Chains A and B, each alone.
Chain A
Amino acid sequence: MMSSSQKRAEYRSLFKQNVRGRLVVNKITMGIILSSVIVALVPLGSILIEVFKNGLGALSVQFLTQIPGAIGTGDGGIGPAIQGTVIIIGMASFMGIPIGVMSGVFMSEFGDNRFGRTVRFFNDVFMEFPSIVIGIFAFLTIVLLLGHFSLWAGAFALSLIMFPIVARTTEESLKLVPLTYREAGLALGLRQWVVTFRIVLSAAKNGMLTGILLAVGRISGETAPLIMTVLGSSQFFGGFDSPMDALPLRIWRLSLLPYDSAKMQGWGAAVVLIIIILSINIGIRYYFSTKNSSKSKFLYKIIGGRKL
């Protein structure tokens, strides 16, 4: 029988002297990981560079304010598209935010039961629904009902994309409001709805605003659901009941034309759209990153890992 320390030594001698090789494997793997980051950053860099390089040159007061000129001439601009995007976002917000906020209030304040969990689950699932299907739904419910394409239909479709995002971020921000706030309010003899609106929602307004802005950023680039709802137009606003143009729609239409001038205008429209979206996104992130770390944790908590 071997002594114990002999046994230890023998076991040790069975180990392979493989540390150097393992460190090499580790280095290679870390290199692959780093290169996957680069692989993802290259398209982003290319998109931003190309959009700004090609798009900024196309911008002019005329381009931003006029209606599109005759096809292929390169005249005119994207005035109606910008106007349409602003109007549609406004209408969609008007339809989507109140119900989104209330739905968030429901999930946070009354959602601790089976029904609440069902709502939360389908809210998350609905966030990932193909937007084109939502467009078909808006077409079937609004366009067929009214008999023609209209701003209403487009705004309805976008509100459906918007409200689950608003609901979820509202819920997360309300959950971060300490229970003691609610208890303090109720102890003062306030009604629950007063506590919710006056105390809880006002404490959570930063998070909710973030959610709303992110939702706006998301819908401002949506194209597919607009195809079969607002259709597109080359005229300025002519009533909520008629078709309208929007930036993403205009980019699509321009991409279908074979002229170089259309391509230039497409870049111009793209840079306007990107500036709107990036200023919303970077603005929010900058606001949170300059504040203390608990705030950036908070941002992470409300938007982390979600497609927005």
Chain B
Amino acid sequence: MDLQENSPEKQKIDNRNYKMIAENVSVYYGGVQTVKNITMKFKERSVTSLIGPSGCGKTTFLRCLNRMHDMTKNARVEGKILLDGEDLYSKDVDPIYHRRKVGMVFQKPNPFPTMSIYDNVSAGLRLNGVRDKKILDEIVEDSLRMAYLWDEVKSNLKKPAMELSGGQQQRVCIARALAIQPEVLLMDEPASALDPIATQKIEETILELAKEFTVIIVTHNMQQAVRVSDYTGFMYLGDLIEFNETKKIFTQPQNELTAKYVQGQFG
């Protein structure tokens, strides 16, 4: 087939190679545009980092990918977000259908404080009608293993999640997100509230997860982006300045701003 470089047909075929595609996404907060017309494509089984100075809109953009802005009063999202070719923002689909395919881990660990570790991890499963104790046990174990927490907590799964350390709590949250078997995992600065050892564990977890999931991670830590991600997008004041393989962003940035940022000249 001989297709023109930018023809719609060619794009359609191209898009098949991507798990998730954001097309011309803009976000307005009470009339102020905080994310400006961003288009990004995320490959299956890859880790993509979003970096940029604080307030650049990277978290806001990430939350679009899960329709988390639906609950934020006076926030408005424009554009398309395609998951396997289906638009998340199409009017006739409830976001619940998509949220089970897109897991999310937040900046601060937010386990349900009154629940045990087990109940936290299985909360999403119970929503999905899984009642069989055997299956629950199996998926909880599997999720905790993937979050690298199983060995630390297997003997007391009934312990309240709040009694764990901050890093462990965050991994409970990762396990909770993984338990609903998402296809895409969004992580909003998942290690920002944690100490270096916990951070390292989380990073190992991310590398492991990338073998199966599409991971999109917001970070303000450039070393972290280098360590864990295959692709990196640099955002500044709501614009996506540059988006490329991580190696290229950090060694041969095309844009002057990107170069300055990755060299630590501002941030």
Q: What mask results when residues 1 to 28 of chain A are scored 1 for a CB within 8 Å of chain B, else 0?
A: 0001101100110111011001100000
Q: Is the CB–CB distance between B212 and A15 below 8 Å?
A: no
| Contact flag A15-B96 (CB < 8 Å), given A5-B212, A8-B181 | no
Q: Is the CB–CB distance between B129 and A18 below 8 Å?
A: yes
Q: Is the CB–CB distance between B181 and A19 below 8 Å?
A: no
With the chains together, A52 CA to B142 CA distance in Å?
A: 67
Residues of A18-43 at the interface with B, using a CB-CB cut-off of 8 Å, are 18-19, 22-23
Q: Is the CB–CB distance between A19 and B94 below 8 Å?
A: yes
Q: B100: which A residues are within 8 A, CB to CB?
A: 15
Q: A12: which B residues are within 8 A, CB to CB?
A: 181
Q: Is the CB–CB distance between B128 and A11 below 8 Å?
A: no
Q: A23: which B residues are within 8 A, CB to CB?
A: 94, 96
Check B266 for interface membership: any CB of A closer than 8 A: no
Q: Which of B130, B142, B212 contacts A16 (CB 8 A)?
A: B130
| Contact flag A4-B212 (CB < 8 Å), given A18-B128, A23-B96 | yes
Q: Is the CB–CB distance between A15 and B128 below 8 Å?
A: yes
Q: A11: which B residues are within 8 A, CB to CB?
A: 139, 142, 181
With the chains together, A4 CA to B212 CA distance in Å?
A: 8
With the chains together, A70 CA to B130 CA distance in Å?
A: 76
Check B127 for interface membership: any CB of A closer than 8 A: yes
Q: What mask results when residues 197 to 226 of chain B are scored 1 for a CB within 8 Å of chain A, else 0?
A: 000000000000001100000000000000
Q: Is the CB–CB distance between A22 and B96 below 8 Å?
A: yes
With the chains together, A48 CA to B214 CA distance in Å?
A: 60
Min CB–CB distance B211 → chain A (angstroms) = 8
Q: How many residues of B contact A (CB 8 A)?
A: 16
With the chains together, A7 CA to B138 CA distance in Å?
A: 11
With the chains together, A22 CA to B94 CA distance in Å?
A: 11
With the chains together, A19 CA to B132 CA distance in Å?
A: 18
Q: Is the CB–CB distance between A19 and B96 below 8 Å?
A: yes
Q: B132: which A residues are within 8 A, CB to CB?
A: 14
Check B193 for interface membership: any CB of A closer than 8 A: no
With the chains together, A16 CA to B127 CA distance in Å?
A: 9
Q: Is the CB–CB distance between A16 and B128 below 8 Å?
A: yes
Q: A16: which B residues are within 8 A, CB to CB?
A: 128-130
With the chains together, A77 CA to B139 CA distance in Å?
A: 78
Residues of A45-101 at the interface with B, using a CB-CB cut-off of 8 Å, are none
Check B164 for interface membership: any CB of A closer than 8 A: no
Q: B94: which A residues are within 8 A, CB to CB?
A: 19, 23
Check B68 for interface membership: any CB of A closer than 8 A: no
Q: What mask results when residues 108 to 139 of chain B are scored 1 for a CB within 8 Å of chain A, else 0?
A: 00000000000000000101111010010001
With the chains together, A22 CA to B126 CA distance in Å?
A: 12
Q: B135: which A residues are within 8 A, CB to CB?
A: 14
Q: Is the CB–CB distance between A15 and B97 below 8 Å?
A: no
Q: B211: which A residues are within 8 A, CB to CB?
A: 4
Q: Is the CB–CB distance between A7 and B127 below 8 Å?
A: no
Min CB–CB distance A22 → chain B (angstroms) = 7
Q: What mask results when residues 123 to 138 of chain A are scored 1 for a CB within 8 Å of chain B, else 0?
A: 0000000000000000
Q: Is the CB–CB distance between B130 and A8 below 8 Å?
A: no
Q: Which of B96, B130, B142 contacts A14 (CB 8 A)?
A: B130
Min CB–CB distance A36 → chain B (angstroms) = 22
Binding site for A on B (CB under 8 A): 94, 96-97, 100, 125, 127-130, 132, 135, 139, 142, 181, 211-212
Can you list 14 A-B pairs, Cβ within 8 angstroms, ordered by A?
A4-B211, A4-B212, A8-B212, A11-B139, A11-B142, A12-B181, A16-B128, A16-B129, A16-B130, A18-B128, A18-B129, A19-B97, A22-B96, A22-B127
Beyond the given pairs A14-B135, A22-B96, 18 more chain A to chain B contacts, judged by CB atoms under 8 angstroms and listed by A's residue number, are A4-B211, A4-B212, A5-B212, A7-B142, A8-B181, A8-B212, A11-B139, A11-B142, A14-B132, A15-B125, A15-B128, A15-B181, A16-B128, A16-B129, A18-B128, A19-B94, A22-B127, A23-B96
